[in-house]
Structure 1
Amino acid sequence: MAGNSEADTKKPMSDTERLELCQKLDQELDDFINSLERKRYTEGWPEDRWEEEMDKHPFFMKSNPDGDEMSPLAEGLAKLKYDPEENTPMVLANNYKEDGNFNFKHKNYRLAILGYTEGIKVKCDDPEINASLYNNRAASHWHLKNYRSALYDSEKALSFNPEHTKARLRAAKSACQIAKYDVCIQHCEKLLSQSNDKEVVELLSIAKKKKLIQERDERKEKRRTNKKEEERDAIVKMIIERGIRVSNCDDEDDIDLSKLEPCLPDSQDCMVHIENGVLKWPVLIMYPEYQMTDVVKSCPENVPLLNQLEQLFPAPWDTNNKYNISTVNIYFEGYDKMPHVIDPKKNLGDLLVMKYFELKAGTPAFFILPRGSVIESRFLESYL
């Protein structure tokens, strides 16, 4: 077990050691400045590498390059700027604000947000600094088109300084961008109570017009929703009146439109609906021999199923012409888990109330098989 060494624990610096460190820092800073004079830096910080170059500068670096021990100069400067033990919360918040301002000036808005956020985390007790940090972060969000965040930060800035005009104007603009027109109008009216700014007058006018349009659209949507709900209620009522059995419904009160939404291929967009007092259903036609299906998207309940099948035959895939009205049998699978043959000359509505018929996934489904064929025999035997 290794014992503690001097390298493992840091002892507080004495006044003498602090003085020696300061003198050493001064000397190293002089040496650094002198080296700059001998080798003048003429290229500037390239746009694509400015962060990398900045991080190499002793004043801006926050971590030591390549994991080596930081030089006394770099460590001292880092402590001067970022160490909470060496700075008051107000100074530390200001330092992070300066970092944010630097990045904002160079249009690095995401890095600016990080700087302002660190300053906010300090939680200094100066309302002006906090207002400035939130306002500047709001400006960064605005440039990134993060309008919700810009509105939030602007209003947080106002909570520290209600007279912060820039924050209130940005709050109004952000609110308008995310269609919070009432909020925008409130901020504009507050600004206009202090001065008659042309930009604010125009923004207020735009917000009021858009609010009227929004309210009109909301009324339309409400009417449309109410109408849709009435139609849904009417559909459920008609299904109950006709006595159609619906899968997964214990009684009439358990029937709702969510249990009538088609979930079968090609039928999701053709839910049962009412036209002129008639229910129109999506109907699934299945061909077990070929593992193929057809979907009749709007089959009236008062029309024979035969009429729909006549539109499907002859099928393009039926090269042997085995499938036509006179040569096929049509079955449905009942809730007793058995196949039941039907008469296609009957109206669809009459088929839906046959004994053992159960509506599944809002879509009546029928099997089509060549009469007397081997595939029909196998189909029937599969239920035994």
Structure 2
Amino acid sequence: MAASEQHDGDDGMDAFMDNFKIRNYKNALSEDNWQEEFDKIPMFMKEAPEEIDPQQYPELACLQALIHDQDRPPAEQAKSLKDEGNAFFQEKNYKKAITSYTEGLKKKCGDQELDTVLLTNRAAAHFHLGNMRSALNDAAAAKKIKPDHLKALTRGAQSCMELRNFAEAVQWCDEGLQRHPTDKKLQELRAAADKHKRATERDARKAKIKEKKLHAEREALLAAIKDRGIKLFRPAEPRRRSEEEEEEGGVGSSAATLQLDGVGSQEATGAQVFLDERRSLHWPVLLLYPEHQQTDFISAFSENSCFSDHLAVMFGEELPPWDADRKYLSENLQLYFEDEEKETFYQVNPETSLLKVLQHKRFFVKSGSPSFIVLVRSSSFWTQFLMGKKIRGL
């Protein structure tokens, strides 16, 4: 009898299990959307959604309500916000992490340890976003609360390194090593900061020496130009020139520096007037050929050289390709400079030295580079170009 009842019971279980295998669970995850539904469970989320809809994420909404429950003590709220920030940090969502840490600090919970952690964590988030100044400020605030806090000291040193404030980074490391003398991270940072600090100081010394040398060379150059009576063209200025400046004929330190080192010939051509070891000036000179709209550039025309020396080389056996008529022979050429203010052209004797021309009372060096017009004597263009113009000799 007992065996028969047991047999009947086994048959009933078999039937139940057979039915169980094909029965669907109520509220079960379907085969089609199980992964999507799985991602809605806070424990298994890979990252938090940008906006939390209570209908779509009820469990997460519930957790957030607990975190931001204003009825709980400030310390509990701050700790929950710290944990929330840490979760965002692990997801590399540093902006949201900063927001959570900031909200935690706003609770003013009075727990110095917790506030220090919130500050150092926020400093880390700022650091990863590249906000080095904010990271340094948070590290400094954390150190003020707890002067021996290792993470605050380390983060402050790292931020100074990124800001290239190497001397300050050394100070942070020294302060940290006083409290944590065996910390390898601080030791490594200290060594790197000191190396960069020494290199920066060395570069600063070199730059200062170089600047001092350049200043001396510039002053010597300006003095040489002034001593020769060479006038640098000065653009119109808003203020009235002083009598002393008028007497100097436009040569002054400020004007000369502007023309020689600013928008002068060096910027346009890569060359600049210089003073050689024999105290001779060499000028970048521009030759203009208006008939063919061509130019030539002599990068270092010695003040003691004559124009004929250069013209003989430039228009010797090999003439320029744009001279199809082969008429630009050195013996056929005439040079002029223009006095725009007086609307006058001055003819230059090719046998004259550059210095003598530059010393002419109506010659002004513009943009650090003297310029001259070159024409073929007695050509049709020469006649047309000079027609109606005032021509004078030196």
The alignment's TM-score, normalised by the length of structure 2, stands at 0.71
Moved more, 144-153 or 189-198: 144-153
The corresponding residue for 2:377 is 371
CA distances 1:324-365 after superposition (whole Å, capped 9, x unpaired): 321121111224232211112222121111131011111101
Q: Secondary structure at the match of 1:193?
A: helix
1:330–1:367 Cα contact (<8 Å) kept: yes
The corresponding residue for 1:190 is 175
Match for 1:302: what amino acid? Answer: N
Match for 2:232: what amino acid? Answer: V
Aligned counterparts of 2:74 and 2:384: Cα–Cα separation in 1: 83
1:58–1:73 Cα contact (<8 Å) kept: no
- Match for residue 295 of structure 1 among 289, 294, 297: 297
CA distances 1:285-342 after superposition (whole Å, capped 9, x unpaired): 1111222222222222121123233343322222222223211211112242322111
2:232–2:255 Cα contact (<8 Å) kept: yes
2:260–2:266 Cα contact (<8 Å) kept: no
Match for 1:288: what amino acid? Answer: P
Q: Secondary structure at the match of 1:238?
A: helix
1:136 aligns with 2:127: no
Change in 2 beyond 3 A, CA 1:58/1:235: same
The alignment's TM-score, normalised by the length of structure 1, stands at 0.73
Q: Secondary structure at the match of 2:342?
A: coil
The corresponding residue for 2:205 is 219
1:80–1:86 Cα contact (<8 Å) kept: no
Aligned counterparts of 2:26 and 2:376: Cα–Cα separation in 1: 97
Q: Secondary structure at the match of 1:219?
A: helix
Change in 2 beyond 3 A, CA 1:275/1:169: same
Match for 1:195: what amino acid? Answer: H
1:9-24 correspondence to structure 2 within 5 Å = none
Aligned counterparts of 2:60 and 2:194: Cα–Cα separation in 1: 56
1:302–1:347 Cα contact (<8 Å) kept: yes
CA distances 1:107-153 after superposition (whole Å, capped 9, x unpaired): 23355445556666x58475655544442233234334554553344
Aligned counterparts of 1:378 and 1:50: Cα–Cα separation in 2: 84
The corresponding residue for 1:275 is 276
2:142–2:152 Cα contact (<8 Å) kept: yes
Aligned counterparts of 2:146 and 2:312: Cα–Cα separation in 1: 77
1:113–1:140 Cα contact (<8 Å) kept: yes
1:267–1:295 Cα contact (<8 Å) kept: no
Please state how far the C-alpha of 1:210 moved relative to its aligned partner: 2.8
Please state how far the C-alpha of 1:272 moved relative to its aligned partner: 1.4
Aligned counterparts of 1:35 and 1:284: Cα–Cα separation in 2: 93
Q: Secondary structure at the match of 2:365?
A: coil
The corresponding residue for 2:329 is 324
1:102-251 correspondence to structure 2 within 5 Å = 102-113=87-98, 115-116=100-101, 122=106, 124=108, 126=110, 131-196=116-181, 197-248=183-234, 250=241, 251=245
CA distances 1:239-278 after superposition (whole Å, capped 9, x unpaired): 1100011111752445331222454697442121221112
1:283–1:364 Cα contact (<8 Å) kept: yes
Please state how far the C-alpha of 1:280 moved relative to its aligned partner: 1.6
Match for 1:309: what amino acid? Answer: L
- Match for residue 58 of structure 1 among 53, 56, 78: 53
Give the aligned length.
337
Unaligned stretches of 5+ residues in structure 2: 1-24, 236-240, 246-250
1:141–1:147 Cα contact (<8 Å) kept: yes
1:243–1:353 Cα contact (<8 Å) kept: yes
Q: Secondary structure at the match of 1:215?
A: helix
CA distances 1:49-69 after superposition (whole Å, capped 9, x unpaired): 966x7235436xxxx99xxxx
